[in-house]
Amino acid sequence: MPLTMTTKRRLVTTALLAPASVWLFVFLVLPFIAMMVFSVGERGPAGGYQTAFTFAQYANLPARSAAYWNTLMLAPVGAFVCLIVAYPTAYYLAVKANPRYRLLLVSLVVVPFWTSLLVRTYAWMYILGSRGIPNLLDMIGIEDVRLLNTPGAVLLGIVYGYLPLMIMPIYVSLEKLDRRLLEASADLGAKPVSTFFSVTLPLSLPGVMTGVALVTILLLGEYLIPQLLGGGKVFFIGNALVDLFLQSRNWPFGSAIAVTLVAIVVVVLMVAMRIAWRISGTRQVDLV
């Protein structure tokens, strides 16, 4: 019996989705289930996991309140600073830059990703360390300036490391902007500032929300930048997880923190998708 066209399409769709589905199930769903099981267990006498059913690990979450506070404060602030720096850059690349050099300029944005984040962070450790900027300031009479191992150093590292991830979604939104809308706004007597806030900015908001969500979600699990530029004094949730799993070997408590981190990420993603959907689905540009 020959297969119908609908059946063939379903088989093709299944074949295309199967590899990714298996990969996600094995390396995402199963580890998360194991993490949830660990989170309701107890720490063994020698560390690790001991079978139990208790929510004591979740009740003990306030013990790591500093890590939650630093993460939930610096991650949104870092995403906001990235946005402030990224939007003018993306706007210039998409709207103002010479088309002949646009591809080159966009390539320069992603050049930092050609090197390891670890190497780039070590470079900032030298710049902010005692032999870097503080040493130059000391030469001109400004003494006892400490930049490394501070929240400011972590924030600087966050902006430097994640700025390209904010620029690119905004650039894509602005690059697709219909220039006739800008011309129509100008023909109707709108000033450039008015055109920007009534046309350009609203149409680029989906890219803005994508960039903010992407950067914020990645920052919620950040470990390297706070570890190196914070020197253990600026503790993120990622640092707490490394300490609990590798140092104190308290796997149930670490799993409980990881589960709450996943829950926070899901909430952030759902809110961002909801806002982006409303913006892109209901936005009407009024040029009058």
Name which of 1-5, 128-132, 177-181 the model is least confident about.
1-5
Rounded mean pLDDT of 125-138?
90
Fold assignment, 64-280 = MetI-like fold (1.10.3720)
Whole-model pTM: value is: 0.84
50 DSSP 8-state letter: B
Q: Hey, where are the domains in the chain? A: 64-280
When pLDDT is cut at 50, 70 and 90, the band that residue 284 belongs to is very low
When pLDDT is cut at 50, 70 and 90, the band that residue 183 belongs to is confident
- For the stretch 185-224, pLDDT in tens is 888 888 888 888 888 888 888 889 889 989 998 999 899 9
- For the stretch 257-268, pLDDT in tens is 999 999 998 888
Between CA 175 and CA 36 the distance in angstroms is: 43
Helix (H) or strand (E) holding 264: helix 251-282
Under a CB-based contact definition with an 8 Å cutoff, are residues 185 and 194 in contact? yes
Average predicted confidence (pLDDT) for the chain: 88
Burial 103-121 (b: 16+ CB within 10 A, else e): eeebeebeeeeeeebeebb
Percent of the chain with pLDDT over 70: 95
232 DSSP 8-state letter: T
Among the listed residues 50, 48, 30, the one whose alpha carbon sits nearest the alpha carbon of residue 40: 50
Residue 287 has pLDDT above 60, yes or no: no
